[in-house]
Amino acid sequence: MSKENSHLRSILETVGVVLGSFIFAMVVIVTVTTGNSPEATLVVENKIVEEKATEADVKPVAEVKVAEVAAGETAGSGSISGEQITQKNCALCHAGGLMNSPKIGDKDQWAPRIAQGKEMLVNNAINGIRTMPAKGGNPSLSDAEVAAAVVWMANSSGGNL
C-alpha cells in the first residue's frame, strides 16, 4: 500500500503544480491587462485603433449615382428623348432586370404592366413602386421626362402608348 500511496501522492503533486501554475499565469495576465501601467494604456489605444479600422471595413464598396441631366438638357426643355432618358437613368435596372424590374424588350414582363394603362405606369414611375424609387432615383427629372421614358420602354416592349 505504501507504493500505491506514493504513486497517488505523486499524481496529486503533479496536478497541484499544473493547476497552481495556471492560476498564477491567469493572475499575472489579469494584473498586467487591467492595471494602470503604460502597457494597459497601450492595449486600450490599440483597441480604439481596431474599432476605427472596423468602421472603415464596413463602408460600402461603391455608390450608385444616377446620371444627371447635362447642361442644355434641363427639365422640361424637350431637348432629350424618352430613349435618351431611359439610357441615362432607367437602363441601370431595366436593361438587366435588376431587383425584379421588367427588362426592356421583354413583352411577357411588360404585358401586365402595359394593360394597367399609361396613366398608371407613369404614376408608378414618378412616385416609385416596390423597390423602384421615385423617378428612378433621379429627382431632377421632370414628370414629362419620366413619362417619355416610360412610354419609350413600354413601346419597346410590345406596347402602343
Q: What are phi and psi of 129, to 5 degrees?
A: -155, 135
78 or 31: which leads in pLDDT: 31
What does the domain layout of the chain look like in residue ranges? 2-57, 82-155
DSSP for 116-141?
T-HHHHHHHHHH-BTTBPGGGG-TTS
DSSP per residue over 10-60, as a string?
Answer: HHHHHHHHHHHHHHHHHHHHHHHHHSSSHHHHHHHHHHHHHHHHHHHHTS-
Instruction: Provide the pLDDT confidence category of residue 33 given band limits of 50, 70 and 90.
Output: confident
82-155 to CATH, choices 1.10.760.10, 3.90.170.10, 3.40.50.970, 1.10.3720.10: 1.10.760.10
Greater confidence (64 vs 77) lies with 64
Q: Give the angle 46-50-51 at the CA atoms, nearest 5°.
A: 120
In this predicted structure, the answer to whether residue 36 has a pLDDT above a threshold of 60 is: no
Q: For position 132, what pLDDT does the model report?
A: 87
